Protein backbone atom coordinates (compact mmCIF):
# COMPACT_ATOMS: atom_id res chain seq x y z
CA UNK A 1 0.00 0.00 0.00
CA UNK A 2 1.36 3.46 -0.86
CA UNK A 3 2.54 5.51 2.09
CA UNK A 4 3.95 8.90 2.99
CA UNK A 5 7.61 8.77 3.95
CA UNK A 6 9.64 11.27 5.94
CA UNK A 7 13.34 11.77 6.57
CA UNK A 8 15.11 11.94 8.87
CA UNK A 9 13.23 10.12 11.61
CA UNK A 10 15.08 12.12 14.25
CA UNK A 11 16.98 15.38 13.88
CA UNK A 12 18.96 17.08 16.61
CA UNK A 13 20.05 20.64 15.99
CA UNK A 14 21.37 23.61 17.90
CA UNK A 15 19.30 26.70 18.49
CA UNK A 16 19.67 29.16 15.63
CA UNK A 17 20.53 26.53 13.04
CA UNK A 18 18.50 25.89 9.92
CA UNK A 19 16.80 22.53 9.43
CA UNK A 20 15.06 20.99 6.46
CA UNK A 21 12.56 18.23 7.03
CA UNK A 22 11.77 16.08 4.01
CA UNK A 23 8.65 14.29 2.95
CA UNK A 24 7.69 12.16 -0.02
CA UNK A 25 3.89 12.24 -0.33
CA UNK A 26 1.89 9.48 -2.00
CA UNK A 27 2.54 9.78 -5.71
CA UNK A 28 -0.90 10.69 -7.07
CA UNK A 29 -1.78 13.03 -4.21
CA UNK A 30 -2.06 16.75 -4.83
CA UNK A 31 -2.68 18.29 -1.41
CA UNK A 32 0.20 18.40 1.07
CA UNK A 33 0.31 19.37 4.71
CA UNK A 34 2.65 19.86 7.62
CA UNK A 35 1.47 19.40 11.19
CA UNK A 36 3.43 19.38 14.39
CA UNK A 37 2.91 17.81 17.79
CA UNK A 38 4.82 19.04 20.82
CA UNK A 39 5.35 16.20 23.28
CA UNK A 40 2.19 15.53 25.24
CA UNK A 41 0.17 18.10 23.32
CA UNK A 42 -2.27 18.04 20.45
CA UNK A 43 -1.54 17.82 16.76
CA UNK A 44 -1.43 21.36 15.30
CA UNK A 45 -1.82 22.42 11.70
CA UNK A 46 1.06 24.38 10.21
CA UNK A 47 0.49 24.75 6.48
CA UNK A 48 -1.32 23.32 3.46
CA UNK A 49 0.06 23.35 -0.07
CA UNK A 50 -1.69 22.83 -3.38
CA UNK A 51 -0.87 23.60 -6.98
CA UNK A 52 2.61 24.77 -6.05
CA UNK A 53 1.52 27.34 -3.55
CA UNK A 54 0.49 27.69 0.07
CA UNK A 55 -3.29 27.48 0.37
CA UNK A 56 -3.47 28.12 4.10
CA UNK A 57 -1.12 28.60 7.03
CA UNK A 58 -1.53 28.88 10.77
CA UNK A 59 -0.25 31.52 13.16
CA UNK A 60 2.59 29.17 14.06
CA UNK A 61 3.86 29.26 10.47
CA UNK A 62 5.70 32.56 10.69
CA UNK A 63 8.56 33.95 8.61
CA UNK A 64 10.94 31.39 10.04
CA UNK A 65 9.08 28.61 8.24
CA UNK A 66 8.91 27.88 4.54
CA UNK A 67 7.76 24.99 2.36
CA UNK A 68 8.84 23.88 -1.05
CA UNK A 69 8.13 21.20 -3.59
CA UNK A 70 11.49 21.22 -5.33
CA UNK A 71 10.67 18.38 -7.72
CA UNK A 72 7.81 16.05 -8.55
CA UNK A 73 8.15 13.93 -5.45
CA UNK A 74 9.58 15.79 -2.44
CA UNK A 75 7.85 18.25 -0.13
CA UNK A 76 10.06 20.04 2.37
CA UNK A 77 9.63 22.14 5.49
CA UNK A 78 12.44 24.52 6.32
CA UNK A 79 12.90 26.23 9.65
CA UNK A 80 15.35 29.04 9.13
CA UNK A 81 16.58 29.67 12.65
CA UNK A 82 15.39 27.07 15.11
CA UNK A 83 14.24 27.89 18.63
CA UNK A 84 13.96 25.61 21.64
CA UNK A 85 10.18 25.70 21.32
CA UNK A 86 10.37 24.25 17.82
CA UNK A 87 11.19 20.88 19.39
CA UNK A 88 8.33 18.64 18.36
CA UNK A 89 7.26 15.80 16.12
CA UNK A 90 6.61 17.09 12.61
CA UNK A 91 4.15 15.14 10.47
CA UNK A 92 3.72 15.45 6.75
CA UNK A 93 0.37 14.43 5.26
CA UNK A 94 -1.06 14.20 1.78
CA UNK A 95 -4.48 13.88 0.17
CA UNK A 96 -5.87 13.04 -3.22
CA UNK A 97 -7.61 15.54 -5.44
CA UNK A 98 -11.33 16.06 -5.53
CA UNK A 99 -13.84 14.54 -3.16
CA UNK A 100 -11.36 12.39 -1.29
CA UNK A 101 -11.25 13.40 2.35
CA UNK A 102 -8.65 11.21 4.02
CA UNK A 103 -5.29 12.73 4.84
CA UNK A 104 -2.52 10.14 5.02
CA UNK A 105 0.14 10.91 7.59
CA UNK A 106 3.82 10.09 7.40
CA UNK A 107 5.70 8.55 10.35
CA UNK A 108 7.01 11.93 11.48
CA UNK A 109 10.37 13.56 12.14
CA UNK A 110 11.25 14.16 15.77
CA UNK A 111 13.07 17.50 15.92
CA UNK A 112 15.08 18.24 19.04
CA UNK A 113 16.52 21.73 19.39
CA UNK A 114 19.22 22.10 22.03
Partner 1 sequence: GQNIDQPTEMTATEGAIVQINCTYQTSGFNGLFWYQQHAGEAPTFLSYNVLDGLEEKGRFSSFLSRSKGYSYLLLKELQMKDSASYLCAVRDRRAAGNKLTFGGGTRVLVKP
- Judged by the rule CB under 8 A, the positions of this chain that interact with partner 1 are 31, 33, 35, 41-45, 48-50, 55-56, 58, 91, 95, 101-108
Distance CA 75, CA 42 (A): 23
Q: How far is the CB of 53 from partner 1 (least distance, A)?
A: 10
- The least CB distance from residue 91 to partner 1, in Å, is 6
Query: Smaller CB distance to partner 1: residue 33 or 75?
Result: 33
Closest separation in Å from C-beta 38 to partner 1? 12
Residue 50, strand partner residues: 31, 53
Give me the DSSP letters along 8-26.
-SEEEE-TT--EEEEEE--
Q: Do the Cβ atoms of 92 and 105 come closer than 8 Å?
A: yes
Q: For residues 19 and 46, which CB has a smaller minimum distance to partner 1 in the complex?
A: 46
Residues forming a β-bridge with 37: 43, 89
Nearer to partner 1, 17 or 55 (CB): 55
- Which residue lies nearer to partner 1 by CB, 47 or 79? 47
Asked if 88 and 37 count as a contact pair (C-beta separation under 8 A), the reply is: yes
Amino acid sequence: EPEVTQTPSHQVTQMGQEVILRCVPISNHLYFYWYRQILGQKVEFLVSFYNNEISEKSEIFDDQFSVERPDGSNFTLKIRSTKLEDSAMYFCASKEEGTSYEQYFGPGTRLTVT
